[in-house]
Structure 1
């Protein structure tokens, strides 16, 4: 069962405290909240752990079935967890087949990376060791944002901890580390491989940063990493960063924009104080404001979430109150209502709509392999609608010409 205890500088929050070194001590005094999504993730991890033990260790079918049935009694259990955990096991089998001989496979491994991060410890979902390679695989049940294993600090800290744990057994035999993140619900599978020397050099490099974060002497640095911070709605540094957007003229000083990026001369004029006035934002300014505005939207949503929770808990938020939102009528007993309509003389055929299952529902019903074999030839995946993304996004840039022919090859 995945543990509930977390280190102050946990591996899972490393992407945050490596950038915002004030975050750990700031969050320490704020209540830790759980959610149905978190509990759902814990249950999915437990199912993954059980299936890993069944596949890679000695476990009787009776023991496996008993434990699995117990997990299925959890109200949060869904058939989708069976599917995603099976995909996870399939990937572990693929990982194991990369070794020349059967590797050592362990699930839910407690590791200690305190040599690099004060009091640092965590739990690896899966560790494989064979030949000269250590493999770490992390299962993520969430379906919000894809997480890449490339350069991922959580995975690197886990790897450092696993190297320490198994050094007495494997010594210097391990020369490289392979780190993978599986997100079956997003069909996202990424892997990063580095040498042990590179990994340990990275560990030495973050030591002073980790010590700074642990000591409470760090700085607040708002950014995308605020997403999972417990204090994201109450952080003054984040508020200061976002409220600066209220004055757009100070957001992108004209002097900071290259002359060749300025708007055409016909759209500017000399103001009453002799200064040049440009009523239109340049493309460079728009690009900068898009980045700032994206964080502003996220920050406002966090404020809304915090205020709603506070008001529900009976705490006043000056100038705000909770009201009932739009409600949708529902039957208290749909079957009884339909029978009453039939008794009133309405034909049963008029009371039901017959419609096929969606593509995703059929794939869940049949399983990925059979779905692909039996009806995969009838599936096409057109290019998605163009969506703005940062230039650092790993996806390829949208190509209008490619969009015109997307899905054609699949149907030929």
Structure 2
């Protein structure tokens, strides 16, 4: 089940836990707001479906290349890229199961398990769906519950440490299986294969999970539901909100949230207050690197808000509601395609076109070649592997706290020597 479907069943869902725990008025503010899923979110849902097929059937992702996965009104074809990234996650789950078994544990695996969160949020019938839950029972009586989450996005890296969504799923999984097991430890694992082959992990004792539920999640849920129940007759105040980049990122109300708009305006003002524009007469100095660094800290918040506002305006216009100053226009036409591939093939054959004129062929991808050769013929695969190349990731800007190591870039050196002043070039005449 997709996160969009999950939210239809739970106002206080695990996937939005950071938002409703951090900003107590956010849930009430989102009531009645449009919830149009983006293409990126739907692509993530398709990737989760592919991962489920693999784990349930014991297949590799390459077995499904060419299959179509429908999410809402969108269709996604499983291609080599999706199969490769999903396989990284699938391999990670399988390797973890094998590691538990090698350590002497018996393991149970639950894929896409629906878990009740009613005991945490108080919302009747509320549930969430965990991508994968592993229960490892060791001979000494130690039992660990491992909650594994697949993040298919390539944007901001997600850390498992103090991850509210992971904690919510872990608490729900413990509640689900507590009649049969007595857990000592919890392991939260987040795979984000489009950013890193190595997952983020965080282990904690069961007592810390209980503390999170009792001292953080439950009080926040109670407060959020109070606002939901009273919003119709008690308008929300700016002080009820706690806008910020992380909690506003996936909030449905951020495009029309007055608290976020005020926060963005205040943030911009504060940033530029820290950027004294030194002047001398009419001369203005261009921004230096120190000033650019100050501005960078607010770019994601501002950019996210701007995109949300643009998206909301589009929703309003498509619904026939006027927005002063803007209008809808026809976009660029889509790529041309056959209305019927079979009819096109028959017609082209009747025109006596040659096979190489009618069809295009390409060599299978390295991922598909590895699937065919690596296990059955390692020596042949080794020869093929020698022809495989992989481009390095392009440099991208990230904040200093990002866990990836900084690239060392050498300043460009001028290849041309400066001509000495006393050399008048007379020898060249």
Q: Is the 1:96–1:102 contact (alpha carbons within 8 Å) kept by the matching residues of 2?
A: no
Structure 2 Cα separation of the partners of residues 270 and 253 of structure 1: 20
Contact 1:9 1:118 in 2 (8 A): no
1:390 equivalenced with 2:396 (yes/no): no
2:114 and 2:360 map into 1 onto residues whose CA distance is 51
Show structure 2 runs of 5+ residues with no match. 228-235, 375-380, 413-429
The answer for the alignment partner of 2:110 in structure 1 is: 106
After superposition, the Cα gap between the structure-2 partners of 1:388 and 1:43, relative to the gap in structure 1 and judged at 3 Å, is closer
Q: CA–CA distance in 2 between the matches of 1:84 and 1:288?
A: 35
Map 1:22-37 onto structure 2 (within 5 A).
22-35=25-38, 37=40
The alpha carbon displacement at 1:321 in A equals 0.9
The aligned counterpart of 1:253 is 273
Q: 1:8-407 maps to which residues of 2 (within 5 A)?
A: 8-35=11-38, 37-55=40-58, 74-75=69-70, 76=75, 78-80=77-79, 86-99=87-100, 100-119=104-123, 121-129=127-135, 130-131=137-138, 132-171=143-182, 174-188=183-197, 189-207=199-217, 208-216=219-227, 218-244=240-266, 251-253=271-273, 281=287, 283-327=289-333, 330=336, 362-367=365-370, 373-379=382-388, 384-400=393-409
Q: How far apart are residue 167 of structure 1 and its match? A: 1.6
Partners in 2 of 1:287 and 1:293 — Cα distance?
Answer: 10
Of residues 318-327 and 382-391 in structure 1, the stretch that sits farther from structure 2 once superposed is: 382-391
Distance 1:305 1:369, change over 3 A: farther
CA contact (8 A) 1:175 1:195 kept: yes
Count residues with an aligned counterpart: 365
Distance in structure 2 (CA, Å) of the matches to 1:36 and 1:384: 23
CA RMSD of aligned residues (A): 4.2
Q: State the 1:365 CA deviation.
A: 3.1
Length-normalised TM-score, structure 1: 0.72
**Secondary structure class of the residue paired with 1:149:** coil
Measure how far apart 1:27 and its partner are.
0.8
Residue 303 (structure 1) shift = 1.8
Structure-2 residue corresponding to 1:274: none
Q: Corresponding residue for 1:64?
A: none
| Whole-angstrom distance in 2 between the partners of 1:308 and 1:374 | 53
Inter-partner Cα distance in structure 1 for 2:402 and 2:371: 28
Q: Which 5+ residue runs of structure 1 have no aligned equivalent?
A: 56-60, 62-67, 272-276, 404-412
Greater helix share, structure number: 1
Give the whole-Å Cα distance in 2 for the aligned partners of 1:203 and 1:278: 54
For 2:394 and 2:40, the matched residues in 1 are separated by 28
